[in-house]
A and B are shown apart, each in its own frame.
Chain A
Amino acid sequence: MDIIDTREMSKDDILRLLERASEVEGSDALDGCVLALLFFEPSTRTRMSFDAAMKRLGGDTVDMGSVESSSVQKGETLADTVRVVEGYADALVLRHPREGAARLASEFVDVPVINAGDGAGHHPTQTLLDLYTVRENVDAPLGDLHVGIMGDLKYGRTVHSLALALAKFGARITFASPPSLRVPQNVRTELERAGVEYEEVEGVDEAIGSLDVLYATRIQKERFPDEQEYEKVAGEYRVTTETLETARDDLVLMHPLPRVDEIAPEVDRTEHAKYFEQAHNGVPVRMAVLDTVM
């Protein structure tokens, strides 16, 4: 079984993984197994939490290391790299700058492939830990929720995976972004096919009072032609205590991290801030994923 994107996962698949995550602690089900970590892009949380998850399950990891120190530097294709590493491990975790990389890898190997982010494509295990965090903090079915997703919705892979997963449950979604960073057409098409109620706005202020969850994402400087334009846009998509004044008391504020300026530090001290808990949930959720696919 591969984990490539949330579009291909059923609602039951997702719920089973979330249930498993809540009970997986203490398991040593992967004793003697080896997980390969292939990160062609920088990562802190995803890489470390997969490493920790595998070790907590009694297994071990082999890490390709940085691209600069690997055969990729010599021009090796991804198809060749994964076929070689398949011989060293029982499953592969892959992060790659190109969209579709995990799908390609899965076609060349027999061991399970887990997509840990493919360019601006998808990041399904981030979505699983996002949903796990929501369930831990909101006392309502996922389908009854109103979720605001804010920031770079065009290139943010965590956004694409989350939106497609929320679509399975029928949650209401409000997307807030600058016009140039709206959700891509392929994601919108999937939402429309799923019959999801969604709206696209430029600011989250009007919707914030009815949100159960606000999911903030980083707006990347390199997406803008000049720094001045970036500063202007980034400032408009910053969550402060002022932004949260009209929010419900039980609003759950999340962020896949790393953050730059999207959430003001004083917000960390509010009851809304769940992003560090969210990051910590990466371990049990990835344990559940590994335990399920390996």
Chain B
Amino acid sequence: MEELKIRPIRNGTVVDHIPQGQALNVLRVLGVDSSTRDVVSVAMNVPSDAMGRKDIVKVEDTEIDSTEADVIALIAPEATVNVVRDYEVREKYDVSMPDEIRDVLSCPNPSCITNSREPVETVFDVRDGEMRCDYCGTVLRDEIAEHLV
């Protein structure tokens, strides 16, 4: 019998097929931090036929809708999201890159107005695989994890 590394959840969301080493960044994208009171489980370096190794994140008693889940595509484009109710997967969807990313990334340009004390959320327009700051136009391609808010 396969060893159970992470227990099933009764209600909540399971994000599967996260690239190895990206689980904590997925939590950041989802806004999970020290103020979160839901039970959160993280499995890292789990053997996977398709991916070799993968990470898995489970957030109990919280359902992530497809719009929220799409932000995960920033760092885990192959991720799948499962919404669990009474131990059964009731909804399952793949993530896809959104057209706009709001308040998830900081602008890499230190002179951008969003990196000052102004009361604004960052907004990035997504086009052709690039993220463009809506304020200063700086293009963000890689190093996304470094710019998670």
Residue numbers of A with Cβ under 8 A of B are 5, 7, 75, 77-79, 96-101, 103-104, 107, 118-121, 184-187, 189
Contacts and interface: CB of A to CB of B under 8 A. Distances in A.
Contact of A104 (B109, B120, B130, B139): B120
7 closest A-B pairs by beta carbon, nearest first, are A100-B135, A99-B136, A100-B113, A100-B136, A186-B137, A98-B113, A101-B113
A113 to B, nearest CB: 13
B120 to A, nearest CB: 6
B44 interface: no
B113 A99 contact: yes
A39 to B, nearest CB: 16
B116 A98 contact: yes
Nearest to A99: B136
B113 A104 contact: yes
A184 B140 CA distance: 12
B133 interface: yes
Nearest to B119: A79
B111 interface: yes
A77 B117 contact: yes
B140 to A, nearest CB: 10
Interface string B38-81: 00000000000000000000000000000000000000000000
Contact of A99 (B120, B135, B139): B135
Interface in B81-132: 109, 111-120, 130, 132
Given A77-B119, A78-B113, A97-B111, A104 B137 contact: no
Given A77-B118, A78-B118, A107-B120, A186 B138 contact: yes
25 contacts: A5-B137, A77-B117, A78-B113, A78-B118, A79-B118, A79-B119, A96-B113, A98-B115, A98-B136, A99-B113, A99-B136, A100-B112, A100-B114, A100-B134, A100-B136, A103-B113, A103-B134, A104-B114, A104-B120, A107-B120, A119-B111, A119-B136, A186-B137, A186-B138, A189-B132
Given A5-B137, A78-B118, A100-B136, 8 more contacts: A75-B117, A77-B119, A79-B118, A99-B112, A99-B137, A100-B113, A104-B113, A187-B137
A189 B133 contact: no
Contacts of A99: 109, 111-113, 135-138
Interface residues of B, number: 20
Main secondary structure of the interface of A (DSSP, over half): mixed
Contacts of A7: 137
Contact of A121 (B116, B119, B130, B136): B136
Nearest to A164: B137
Contacts of A96: 113
A282 B50 CA distance: 63
A189 B133 CA distance: 13
Contact of A185 (B111, B120, B139): B139
A100 B133 contact: yes
Q: Residue among A96, A104, A120 with the most chain B CB within 10 A? A: A104
B5 to A, nearest CB: 43
Contacts of B111: 97-99, 119-120
Nearest to B114: A100
A189 B132 CA distance: 10
Nearest to A105: B113
B41 to A, nearest CB: 39
A214 B135 CA distance: 30
A104 B132 contact: no
A185 B136 CA distance: 12
Contacts of B112: 98-100
Contacts of A187: 137
A118 to B, nearest CB: 8
B139 A186 contact: yes
Contacts of B118: 77-79, 104
